[in-house]
């Protein structure tokens, strides 16, 4: 799978994919992530990519021309399954969307900044608009990193047994159960006995109960769907 990300602040995205599971996904050749600097696609002086909004108001708006230039240049070599604009007024991202997007071959993500991007680009080129939650970020870059991580780790072969996605919170609409490791007794705080029993039937049952209980307490909304 390939994920291309267009941004005016590529520096923000130099770190998130260079470590841990995202790094391994790329080393294994299962995921390719390219960060594209929008400023390389403008024909305006001083690499300008944004301008004042028509009608007035605070903030700057990213112009349509550099966006179309970048998109058309990238489309010469890549056919995108989705052109995703990261925006707080998009559809709220969730695990189901991550699962669906992980089945695609090529994704393009566009990060807005300032007040956003010219509406005409959204109307004519964007196929999906996604938000990562009901709060405001300074730009779409951190959201693009969140999507790329959650999608990338679902690509078959990226996770191994220890990091299996099957036991993740949300994968089955249940929160994950508590986990423990050494020492078995820390200053009198003991690990639940069942986990030390070696009885895997009981352990699985305990974990399932804990998942359900935790979900009931913390996220009852997940159970009533």
Q: Which residues bind ligand 6GU (CB under 6 A)?
A: 86-88, 131-133, 135-137, 139-140, 143
Beta-strand relationship, 185-186 and 32-37: unpaired
Q: How far is the CB of 88 from ligand 6GU (least distance, A)?
A: 4
Closest to ligand 6GU by CB, 12 or 158 = 12
Q: How far is the CB of 139 from ligand 6GU (least distance, A)?
A: 5
Contact 113, 140 (CB under 8 A): yes
For 69-79, b/e burial (b = at least 16 CB within 10 A) is bbbeebeeeee
Q: How far is the CB of 93 from ligand 6GU (least distance, A)?
A: 8
Closest to ligand 6GU by CB, 88 or 177 = 88
Q: How far is the CB of 149 from ligand 6GU (least distance, A)?
A: 14
Instruction: List the alpha helices (DSSP H) in 61-113.
Output: 64-75, 95-101
Tracing tokens 């997007």 back to the chain, one arrives at 101
Reply yes or no: is the peptide bond before residue 66 cis, omega within 30 of 0. Answer: no
Closest to ligand 6GU by CB, 16 or 177 = 16
Closest to ligand 6GU by CB, 70 or 132 = 132
């Amino acid at each position: 799978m390939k994920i291309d990300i267009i941004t005016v602040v590529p520096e923000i995205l130099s770190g998130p994919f260079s470590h841990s599971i995202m790094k391994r996904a790329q080393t294994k050749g299962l995921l390719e992530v390219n960060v594209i600097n929008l400023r390389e696609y403008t024909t305006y002086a001083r690499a300008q990519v944004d301008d004042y909004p028509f009608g007035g108001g605070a903030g700057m708006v990213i112009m349509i021309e550099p966006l179309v230039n970048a998109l058309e240049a990238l489309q010469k070599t890549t056919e995108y399954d989705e052109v995703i604009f990261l925006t707080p007024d998009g559809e709220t991202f969730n695990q189901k969307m991550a699962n669906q997007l992980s089945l695609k071959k090529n994704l393009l993500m566009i990060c807005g900044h300032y007040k956003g991007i010219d509406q005409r680009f959204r109307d004519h080129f964007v196929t999906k608009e996604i938000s990562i939650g009901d709060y405001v970020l300074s730009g779409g870059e951190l959201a693009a990193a969140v999507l790329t991580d959650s999608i990338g780790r679902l690509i078959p072969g990226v996770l191994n047994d220890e990091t299996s996605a099957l036991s993740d919170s949300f994968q089955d609409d249940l929160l994950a159960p508590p986990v423990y490791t050494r020492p078995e007794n820390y200053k009198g705080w003991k690990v639940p006995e069942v986990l030390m029993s070696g009885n895997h039937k009981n352990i699985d049952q305990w974990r399932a109960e804990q998942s359900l209980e935790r979900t009931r307490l913390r996220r009852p909304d997940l159970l009533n769907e």
